[in-house]
Amino acid sequence: MSQLGGAPGGPSPEEVERRIARCTEVMDQLAGILAMDFSPDLSEVVTMLSIDAQSEVNLLQSGAEECLSQGRFDLFENIATASFRLEDLQGKLERWKQGLPTGSVGGVSGLGGDMMAGGMSDDERAARALAAQFEEEDRAAAAAAAGGGGGGAQASPGSMHGSDHGAASAFQAPPQMS
């Protein structure tokens, strides 16, 4: 599994921003080839693109900590997205090399062996939604703190993260119908 921690001395947020575009380009090229049927002629190109994509993601991850320290949560989210996408592409690469269907963008494999729909599992969607919610709450808390804490900032529905209201109440199940 990939790490999003980053090492001190990694690229600056500005460099991360530039590298995200390069990483996306490489992964788009890789995804395009993996959408085709297996061909031994393309195998070397796919391997090179996979290595290039991994290098780009590693570079991005080394800048993750700096992005967080500067409040660039958008870049951190892009780094996480690139990491998840690379993992998905690596799985598709293995299936592609075996001549198996790799699934299509926005669809589910016809053989039922592909748990990805649109390149993302249900667990990934839930994790990203939760991370986005926490990020939104953290921004609202920072805005409230910067604004003196008086009126102005409103809590979003379900924003129990870090409050005295009790986090469990935000995750209660809807009432059961009898």
- Per-residue pLDDT at 5: 44
Dist CA 137 CA 155 (whole Å): 7
Q: Check: CB of residue 78 under 8 Å from CB of residue 63.
A: no
| Residue 108 or 37, more confident | 37
The CA distance from 17 to 11, in Å, is 10
Residues whose CB falls within 8 Å of the CB of residue 106, separated by 6 or more in sequence, listed in order: 117, 118
What is the pLDDT of the chain when averaged over all its residues?
Answer: 74
Q: What angle do CA 21, 8, 61 make, to 5 degrees?
A: 30
Percent of the chain with pLDDT over 90: 44
The conformation of residue 119, written as its DSSP 8-state character, comes to T
d(C-alpha 80, C-alpha 78), whole Å: 5
pLDDT higher than threshold 60 for residue 110: no
pLDDT band for 48, please (50, 70, 90 cuts).
very high
List pLDDT tens digits, range 49-74: 999 999 999 999 999 999 999 999 99
